[in-house]
Structure 1
Amino acid sequence: MRVQNVRRCQCGCILSRYNRGAHCSGCIRFMRNGQPPRPDIPPHVWESPQVQEALLDRDFGQMCLVVRQLSSLRQDDMAVLTGLSQAFLSMLEAGTRRLTNVDKVVQLLEGLGVPIELTGPMLRTSAPERTSPNQQSPLVRANGCGTLHSATRPLLPPMDDS
């Protein structure tokens, strides 16, 4: 068995045997362009009936897929926002994995900046700050009364006392 000398970039990733340089492509992009901008999700995404329905059905994979498509983000961008790995997000979107850990659900929802009106206060570590008490969410402004299905159908079922 032949042992190969593994070369690593300064960031720790293994360099391809075809890469003759000292840095990986991610580090080269970073050095060339400076700090990459943090991806963000436009507010209109949360008004989408597909996103709202996926949240109501607790189908976080479908929600991630639709949010990503409407925001023109990559899975890597979603991983940066949520702290979940790109591989896990890929499996979540494909339906081969489910998000069942409540801490991970909260991490996903807060990372994406899902409005509290769509999730309910139980799925957040803290309420988002508003600049004035009369300020409403974009959902409420868009529809007058809003499409707040979470008020009639909670995201998580009630706890069983047994």
Structure 2
Amino acid sequence: MGKHLFTIAPRSSVSPPFDISASESSSRSWIVVATLALTGTVVSLQQTLVLPLLPDLPELLGTTADNASWLVTATLLFGAISIPTVTRLADMFGKKRMMMVALAAMVLGSVLGALSTDLPLVITARAMQGVGLSLVPVGIAIMRDELPRERV
């Protein structure tokens, strides 16, 4: 009866020295998480902002409702194509590089969409914005690489 399954070590009154590299790593982790969270939020907003406009788009673009619905379809279709493609390329050529490529496609699509009034150009712009959907899984992969295992 005198044997215990667990032994409790006495607490040390000496605290470990302050590790500057751990502090820098912690602040870097915070910056990575904040940046990727902001990116994910922007991508989500970018993809859903057109939905409330769908009833008005046929009149604004001088087209039918069926044609205007291609604005959503093109975004989702190119997102579905780009997510596995860009994530694979990110594994091959670097996550940061492919994240910048996807971000550039999304920004160029946004600028093109803002400047065009022709339906085919707006659909093309929304397709380019759909490539931005791949930012979310690439961002998750970056967090997996950058953060300690217990925080992911």
Using the size of structure 1 for normalisation, the TM-score is 0.22
**Structure with more of its chain in helix, by fraction:** 2
Using the size of structure 2 for normalisation, the TM-score is 0.23
Larger radius of gyration: 2
